[in-house]
């Protein structure tokens, strides 16, 4: 599935990426490699027990580049994974600091919640998201302002996106 997602995201160097439901951090690291030194790869996961594990996985990923021809290919500081509820992201602060060129939502998202993520998306940005209501993976592109296009990628079934009200966020993404 990650190959399908990476292809749909149309990644290139220097983009800003947000991985919602980042889990082990594997996809965040893969994409950081494709975004290069000037790219940013942020992840957020609601499951606090996976955050330390994902940070350890990311550290091992970057250490695997040490002393190789690929050392310096990615910037460790460009990858951040935090604990929190994606619906608790402070939109006004995020919009003033960092809009994302690419967003991946790694859990089934009800169609009614997708407009929340539009607020985090830059012009010509892309969201790849499994729509819980229709069990399909879609690619949504922000064309201009509030104009979006949607393309069906494939049929899928993901665990649902968790929306826990009043979750205490322990970390924050810095830009």
3-state helix/strand/coil string of 25-86:
CHHHHHHHHHHCCCCEEEEEECCHHHHHHHHHHHHHHHHCCCCCCCCCCCCHHHEEEEECCH
Share of the chain above pLDDT 90, in %: 41
Q: State the average pLDDT over residues 80-105.
A: 81
The least confident of 19-28, 55-64, 112-121 is 55-64
Quick one: pLDDT at residue 132?
87
What's the CA gap between 5 and 1, in Å, rounded?
Answer: 6
The least confident of 22-36, 105-119, 125-139, 147-161 is 22-36
Q: How confident is the model at residue 166 (pLDDT cuts 50, 70, 90)?
A: very low
Name the most confidently modeled range: 25-34, 76-85, 127-136, 156-165: 127-136
What's the CA gap between 77 and 118, in Å, rounded?
Answer: 26
What's the CA gap between 99 and 165, in Å, rounded?
Answer: 24
Token readout for 36 is: 């290069």
Quick one: pLDDT at residue 12?
94
Quick one: pLDDT at residue 103?
97
What's the CA gap between 63 and 45, in Å, rounded?
Answer: 23
Torsion of CA 122, 88, 78, 25, to 10 degrees: -110
**Residues facing 140 on adjacent strands:** 127, 150
Indicate if the pLDDT at residue 164 is higher than 50. no
Alpha carbons within 13 angstroms on the beta-carbon side of residue 43 total 27
Quick one: pLDDT at residue 155?
93
Name the most confidently modeled range: 11-25, 50-64, 81-95: 11-25
Token readout for 103 is: 């967003």
């Amino acid at each position: 599935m990650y190959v399908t997602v990476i292809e749909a995201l149309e990644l290139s160097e220097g983009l800003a990426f947000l991985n919602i439901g980042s889990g082990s951090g594997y996809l965040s690291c893969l994409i950081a490699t494709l975004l290069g030194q000037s790219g940013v790869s942020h992840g957020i996961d609601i499951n606090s027990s996976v955050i330390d594990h994902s940070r350890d996985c990311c550290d091992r990923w970057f250490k695997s580049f040490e002393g190789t021809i690929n050392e310096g290919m990615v910037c460790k500081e460009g990858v951040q994974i935090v604990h929190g509820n994606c619906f608790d992201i402070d939109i006004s602060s995020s919009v003033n600091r960092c809009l994302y060129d690419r967003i991946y939502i790694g859990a089934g998202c009800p169609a009614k919640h997708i407009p929340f993520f539009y607020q985090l998306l830059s012009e010509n940005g892309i969201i790849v998201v499994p729509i819980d209501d229709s069990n399909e993976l879609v690619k949504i592109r922000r064309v201009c302002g509030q104009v979006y296009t949607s393309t069906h990628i494939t049929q899928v079934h993901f665990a649902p996106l968790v929306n826990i009200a009043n979750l205490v966020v322990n970390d924050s993404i810095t830009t």
